[in-house]
Chain A
Amino acid sequence: MCTYLTEHLEIKGSGKGAEGWFKLDQASVYFDHPVHLPLEHSLNIDFLQPSLGPSARVAVELDLGSAKRLADAIISTLAQVSEGLLQG
């Protein structure tokens, strides 16, 4: 099904797409049909810079287990970073 289950967030970062690196200021996280992964549904993340057009996008499609492990790894990594570095 088309779940429409989407979270949008503003971000500050950079990503590398087909044309090289570009600034990112938006992300969409959603659970829906993947384009490429051979599953009916997946956890998909789009990193976007809308001002550069639709193709300024870094996309990933993950199965549920991978998505959870990625989320845990991000939290775990950030937890290990010293307070001083987090300021930057």
Chain B
Amino acid sequence: MMSDQMLAETVEVEGFGGDGIEAYFARPTGSGPYGSVVVIHHMPGYDEATKEITRKFAYHGYQAICVNLYSREAPGAAPDDAAATARARGGVPDERLVGDVKGAAEFLRSQAASNSRVGVIGYCSGGRQAFLSACSLDDIDAAAVCYGAFIVSDPLPEMPSKVRSLIHLTPNAACPILGLFGAEDKFPTPEEVAKLDSELTKYSKEHEFHIFEGAGHGFFAVDRPSYRPEAANEGWQKIWAFFGKHLSN
């Protein structure tokens, strides 16, 4: 009988600038070899729901890690307090995010049970950051973008955010990209999703996009009113197929 035993715990990884940052690491306890996934949390932070997603990857046979992107601003704080602090300071700079994902990927590859293949997935603001990682790091093997906003367009003028669009980075995308979006989402709109799709096609970047009817932003979030089980279940099937293809041995 196949074992479903897993281990999940807090570890420290070396992130941007050599900083030691907190991360939640979940993996099957077998000898592998396993593909790995860096889970990028949403703007509300390194919370219980994101840790649950991280364990879900371990259940499905991946080593998975979620870095606390707010470690520096709020070490040891409750996730909601940490998110509030990070927000008050203007959010996570893109350069730092890339360094933290790079450190997390290196940590995963250094594990004895790793097959050396690492993907990245992000939700909401993390979806944008997954795309950023795919375009900034040359050793990521697959990236899943779940309703990432502000990839194609800058935030609205009334949003005093330092975040800027990433569409100009499309030629740098170094791995296949899976995009999962809701047809009723306003950030990003279906038109923005279509623009990103065509831009990736223009530069001959391997990608597959799926837009789910009846779903808006945050349809994977089981603890929020935006949860849409049908879209989420189908979305997870797309994720397993995509990572199964690109992160397998």
Could you tell me which A residues sit within 8 Å of B by CB distance? Answer: 1-8, 26, 28, 30, 32-33, 35, 38-40, 46, 48, 50, 53-55, 57, 59
CB distance from A41 to the nearest CB of B (A): 9
Contact across chains for A4 and B88 when beta carbons are under 8 A apart: no
Tell whether A59 pairs with B88 under 8 Å between CB atoms, given A2-B124, A33-B43, A38-B225: no
For residue B32, CB closer than 8 A to chain A, the reply is: no
Stretch in contact with the other chain, from B12-20, B71-79, B110-118: B71-79
Q: Tell me the bound Cα distance from A53 to B88 in angstroms.
A: 12
Instruction: Point out the residue from A1, A39, A57 that lies within 8 Å of B149, measured CB to CB.
Output: A1
CB distance from B145 to the nearest CB of A (A): 14
Could you tell me which B residues sit within 8 Å of A by CB distance? Answer: 42-44, 73-74, 77-78, 80-85, 87-88, 91, 124-125, 147, 149, 155, 158-161, 163, 185-187, 216-218, 224-226
Contact across chains for B161 and A4 when beta carbons are under 8 A apart: yes
CB-nearest residue of chain B relative to A3?
B159
Chain A residues with Cβ under 8 A from B91's Cβ? 4
Contact across chains for B159 and A53 when beta carbons are under 8 A apart: no
CB-nearest residue of chain A relative to B156?
A5
Most buried by B among A1, A32, A33, A39: A1
Instruction: Point out the residue from A1, A2, A4, A55 that lies within 8 Å of B78, measured CB to CB.
Output: A55
CB-nearest residue of chain A relative to B91?
A4
Task: List 7 tightest A-B contacts by C-beta distance, closest first.
Answer: A1-B187, A4-B161, A54-B77, A54-B74, A2-B43, A54-B81, A54-B85
CB-nearest residue of chain A relative to B158?
A5
Chain A residues with Cβ under 8 A from B163's Cβ? 4
Tell whether A48 pairs with B225 under 8 Å between CB atoms, given A2-B124, A5-B159: no
Contact across chains for B160 and A6 when beta carbons are under 8 A apart: yes
Q: Tell me the bound Cα distance from A59 to B42 in angstroms.
A: 19
Contact across chains for B44 and A55 when beta carbons are under 8 A apart: no
Contact across chains for B43 and A40 when beta carbons are under 8 A apart: no
Most buried by A among B44, B87, B186, B224: B87
Chain B residues with Cβ under 8 A from A40's Cβ? 216-218, 224-226
Q: Tell me the bound Cα distance from A51 to B209 in angstroms.
A: 45
Q: Tell me the bound Cα distance from A54 to B78 in angstroms.
A: 8
Instruction: Point out the residue from A1, A38, A46 that lies within 8 Å of B88, measured CB to CB.
Output: A46
Instruction: Point out the residue from B43, B77, B161, B225 that lies within 8 Å of A53, measured CB to CB.
Output: B77
Tell whether A1 pairs with B124 under 8 Å between CB atoms, given A6-B160, A40-B225, A53-B77: yes
Beyond A2-B124, A54-B84, list 16 extra A-B contacts (CB 8 Å).
A1-B185, A1-B187, A5-B159, A6-B160, A26-B88, A28-B84, A28-B88, A35-B80, A35-B83, A40-B217, A46-B87, A50-B85, A50-B88, A53-B77, A55-B77, A57-B81
CB distance from B76 to the nearest CB of A (A): 9
Chain A residues with Cβ under 8 A from B155's Cβ? 4
Q: Tell me the bound Cα distance from A73 to B178 in angstroms.
A: 48
Tell whether A2 pairs with B125 under 8 Å between CB atoms, given A32-B43, A33-B43, A55-B78: yes
